[in-house]
A and B are shown apart, each in its own frame.
Chain A
Amino acid sequence: MSVYKHEYRAYTGTLTPLWVRVAVVVRYAFAEAWSSRITATLFTLSMAPVVVYLVGIYLANNALARALVMKGNSFLTINASYFVKVLETQSWLALVLTAWIAPRLISFDLADNALPILLSHPISRFGYVLGKFIALFACLSLVTWIPCLLLFVFQGYSSEQPWLMANLRIAAGLMAGSLIWIVLLSFLGLAMSSRVKWRVAATGVIFAVVFIPAGIGGIIMAILRTKWGLLLNAPAIMTQLWQQLLGAPVSMRADFVLPDAAILAMLAAVCAVSVYILNARIRAREVVRG
């Protein structure tokens, strides 16, 4: 019997729950991200500063080691400023990891015109982007808030004083500061990777969208004599935000300090633009030019 003579009716069997469908995208995205040896190398390199900071905490809390290694000097103080340094280091390494991983998650699908096939499966565009987002977010978590909190716990364990409970704000700041940064990086990384088809170019563009606006912001500040150019400088505004979240003294000149609301509004605007780009680019269609 010909196919068209069959009667078609809707599938009545059990449907896979939505979250399981997203989990499939996450699983494959994870596999794709870690299929490269460079990802593993970058991850290992990202852990090197953690070891250094760990040794710093050990030295600061162990009198015998301090006497042997640092000749009794006690210039190493473990406080909010120390953990701001930890967070800064790990966050910039997360940018490097994003520039490598994010294009692997999206660009291959776009370059190979695989999106129409992927989205013809029972998964929505939102589910697809969410799956990729979760995979990238998880990868970045491994180098940001997880090691930062482990260092915090180690400091609490090593300290002779009741340090941990008295400094819970640092832990909360580490968590919040990391989450804000990796959400921003995940959105930005996925959006840029979807905009630039070539993975080679996407890696460079992710760096460029962080550093070029910083340079332009600096020019605006210098020429127009206004502090608002600083809003384009992601390294500067994030450092200010992290210092405030952790309760560390703000290192920026007083007349350059921006209101927190302005910083958060800027970060939200960047995320919104990224979502707009993702919405425009992640479509179940293929444009064929003759």
Chain B
Amino acid sequence: MTNAFTHSVMAQPWGLWWLQMRRLVRIELRRNLFSWKAAWIYFLAFAPTGIIFIHLFVDRHTQSAFTEDTNVLAGIVQFYYIRLGVFFGCLGIFARLIRGEMLERSLHFYLLAPVRREILLLGKFVAGSISALLLFGTAIIADFALMYAGFGPVGSDYVFNGPGLAQLEAYLLIVVLACLGYGAVFLLLSMMFRNPTPAAMLVLGWEAINPVLPSLLQKISVASYLRHLMPISVPGDGIFALLTVTTEPVAKWVAVVGLMTLIVVVLAYSCFRVRRLEIRYTTE
């Protein structure tokens, strides 16, 4: 039984699939990163970088501002990137991969090509993930560098001899998981709905009210896993701070594995859906 399975796995044309995926990724990357239509995603990613750059030259970087700036950076990642920047960026990138091709009436070319549909879907997902990771990962590194550059030797000491690098690693891990998590969800939504945006807005609402939900429901959320990975947690303001249900802390590896499981399940279901995908351009 095991031998038959191994033999069947080894008999698959892995080389051909790898080649097809590379080609697909290259085409999609060019479209995602080097077209004018993608300019707004650059804006989403690098808007905070521009503001921090101004801060570098305008404000005085006193010792007292150091802790405050560290908290502000944590707030930018927690509230801007996770809730808005990565969310809307991934919505734009991943919803376009399948639904955008349908609107442009070009998806049938891919479906007519001798490529397995799972390879097509995963290739597009990989391309979207690389685009999002390149943009938002670079933005996080730039934000971090610019934030501490103004403090001179104190900032350098904090980064290289203090907890700075560990924080940067945590932020990068959070952004990677956020891009993959939201990407998988939006890719699936774009296949399920003719207009995935209302469903995406429901996801946004779900993520927003997630802290006030019972702890079992909190697990069906991308942001809830990411919250446990934050090196510095910034409390929310307003009525949500009062309503927040404090759940017991989760180990980092549990949060990572939990989110990865969510991504794999969503992608597996997407592969199942794409096999039955039919296009009727007249109704699109």
Interface of A toward B, CB cutoff 8 Å: 38, 96, 99-100, 198-201, 203-204, 207-208, 211-212, 215-216, 218-220, 222-225
Contact = CB atoms under 8 A, between A and B. Distances in A.
A100 B44 CA distance: 23
B233 interface: no
Find the residue from B91, B198, B200 having the highest chain A CB count within 10 A.
Answer: B198
B48 A219 contact: yes
B213 interface: no
12 contacts: A96-B201, A200-B196, A203-B197, A204-B91, A204-B197, A207-B197, A208-B88, A211-B84, A212-B47, A212-B85, A219-B48, A222-B76
Chain B, interface SS category:
helix
Interface stretch (B53-61, B156-164, B258-266): B53-61
Contacts of B195: 199-200, 203
B80 A204 contact: no
Interface of B: 44, 47-48, 51-52, 54-55, 58-59, 69, 72, 75-76, 79-80, 83-85, 88, 91-92, 95-96, 99-100, 103, 194-198, 200-201, 204
A195 to B, nearest CB: 11
Contacts of A198: 100, 103
A248 B79 CA distance: 29
B47 A204 contact: no
A215 B58 contact: no
Given A99-B197, A204-B91, A223-B72, 15 more contacts: A99-B201, A199-B195, A200-B195, A200-B196, A204-B88, A204-B200, A207-B88, A211-B84, A211-B88, A215-B80, A215-B84, A216-B47, A222-B72, A224-B54, A225-B59
Contacts of B83: 215
Nearest to A213: B47
Contacts, number: 73
B59 A224 contact: yes
A224 B59 CA distance: 7
Contacts of A215: 79-80, 83-85
B84 A200 contact: no
Contacts of B201: 96, 99, 204, 207
Contacts of A201: 92, 96, 197
A218 B238 CA distance: 14
Contacts of B48: 216, 219
A200 B99 contact: yes
Nearest to A229: B51
Given A204-B91, A225-B59, A220 B198 contact: no
Nearest to B91: A204
A220 B55 CA distance: 9
Contacts of A96: 201
A253 to B, nearest CB: 10
A38 B5 CA distance: 48
A280 to B, nearest CB: 16
Given A200-B197, A208-B88, A218 B55 contact: no
Nearest to A225: B59
A224 B88 contact: no
Contacts of A208: 88
B61 to A, nearest CB: 12
Contact of A219 (B58, B76, B100, B204): B76
B88 A212 contact: yes
A201 B93 CA distance: 11
